[in-house]
Chains A and B, each alone.
Chain A
């Protein structure tokens, strides 16, 4: 069963075309990767799926409402010079469910506590967010999404600026989430991890080049077609070709 099916989606930012006639689907459950070179429309597709952007044309069918999706944006999208602690940021989306004159429910406190523990942020809970490193900020965003405990998790480059051990740990967390029957959709740029990370793939280059189970879709020819490089020559490739 598909969680999302999108058909002939077009989207452009003023003069720049992000997506043309993009069609594909994302199944319920598992981890789906959205991959492609820089500027191929990955983040745009993710934002369209969660309803933050409206496509100029095309249709999207989905089983879930936006309120049931947790969205993790790239950390550069916000100004971290904001007066709040790590715990407060993780609490924010939950806090809007409680009227201002009421105490926050115990379940909310527990969700936040758990999310902080899962992302290794417990020791940083009371730290001001402006004093965090890039990797820690990324973890705050993931913790905030986990605390919501929703059936669909959409993440835009969640491992950007995160060191390798943290990435391995966070991936394990997302894998556990997927094993609980939830759906994880993730924009990702590191090609080497793709067969390891994803059950399903959407390969983009302003339109959907390939879509399906990773085992079927992922092959060296596709890589050459989309990225203009061979996986085996990756280390020799010019920097700008490695997305």
Chain B
């Protein structure tokens, strides 16, 4: 087993587990597509950061990306609360609008600076095999940061996710939780897009909780289940892609999740049918 396989596997497990943990609040708040919005809104920020600075340094590009993603998320909540605007419509317009803006900016860049634009394409489709050790450390750091932010707030999160008004009444700073969740999502998606690409990143923030949900009876078990499934999908995807050369890692992770989802629901339905027949 070579060290690059181990590095890719560890990095992807960190990212996938993180996405799995964050998929739980998104599912329970019925905001599953927020991850998709963040992923698409990263693009204009990424390209914008490069246009302004002219430096193709990952950290600078990602700072720009997180900035526009966060703006898109902040735009979303007033739009969703407005009674005249349908929230799925608002989401669809924001997702495709942000992506269109990004693609437009990419094409502008292509006209002016042909050679340098190539690197930015990486984020469209992602490239997990190119994961380097320092990026693995980054992923680990962000993982610890978010898990460290969640742990002391588990009880508050539990109440807030179920009943936000009650959480407010009990003195919980719900704004802080909401902003914290937004930042967590931005960071997780930012890590994810590098390896699975903009289009597939959202799946990592939707599927794990969805797969685990029928089988669990508490928030804690949903969290553990979603994280474990996500990590397992990351390992499966990495293993498959390293078995045969040319197989892309990101799509295999997402495909594994989709297969797990089908299996999960097939088992759940058959269990229900058998249970009812008895």
Residues of A within 8 A of B (CB): 14, 50-52, 66-67, 69-71, 73, 77-79, 82-85, 88-89, 92-93, 95-96, 98-100, 128, 144
A96 touches B218 (CB 8 A): no
A77 touches B83 (CB 8 A): no
- From A51, A77, A85, A98, B163 is in contact (CB under 8 Å) with A77
Chain A residue numbers with a CB within 8 Å of B170 are 67, 93, 96
Chain A residue numbers with a CB within 8 Å of B221 are 83
B154 at the A interface (CB under 8 A): yes
- From B155, B163, B217, A100 is in contact (CB under 8 Å) with B155
A84-B219, A93-B170 known; A78-B155 Cβ under 8 A: no
Provide a sorted-by-A list of 29 A–B residue pairs whose CB atoms are within 8 angstroms: A14-B83, A52-B165, A52-B168, A52-B169, A66-B169, A67-B171, A69-B169, A71-B166, A71-B169, A73-B163, A78-B162, A82-B28, A82-B162, A83-B213, A83-B216, A83-B221, A84-B158, A84-B217, A84-B218, A85-B218, A92-B158, A92-B159, A92-B162, A92-B166, A96-B159, A96-B172, A99-B152, A100-B152, A128-B217
Overall SS of chain B's interface = helix
Chain A residue numbers with a CB within 8 Å of B83 are 14
A78 touches B163 (CB 8 A): yes
A67-B170, A92-B159, A100-B151 known; A77-B217 Cβ under 8 A: no
Q: How far is the CB of B214 from chain A (nearest CB, A)?
A: 10
Q: How far is the CB of A243 from chain B (nearest CB, A)?
A: 23
B231 at the A interface (CB under 8 A): no
B156 at the A interface (CB under 8 A): yes
List which B1-49 residues lie within 8 A (CB) of chain A: 28, 30
Residue of A nearest to B152 (CB): A100
A83 touches B217 (CB 8 A): yes
Chain B residue numbers with a CB within 8 Å of A98 are 155
B120 at the A interface (CB under 8 A): no
Chain B residue numbers with a CB within 8 Å of A69 are 169
Q: How far is the CB of B228 from chain A (nearest CB, A)?
A: 15
B166 touches A83 (CB 8 A): no
List which B113-172 residues lie within 8 A (CB) of chain A: 151-152, 154-156, 158-159, 161-163, 165-166, 168-172
Residue of A nearest to B215 (CB): A83
CA gap between A92 and B83 in the complex, in Å: 31
B165 touches A89 (CB 8 A): no
Q: How far is the CB of B264 from chain A (nearest CB, A)?
A: 15
B200 at the A interface (CB under 8 A): no
User: Among B168, B169, B217, which residue has the most Cβ atoms of chain A within 10 A?
Assistant: B169
Residue of A nearest to B24 (CB): A83
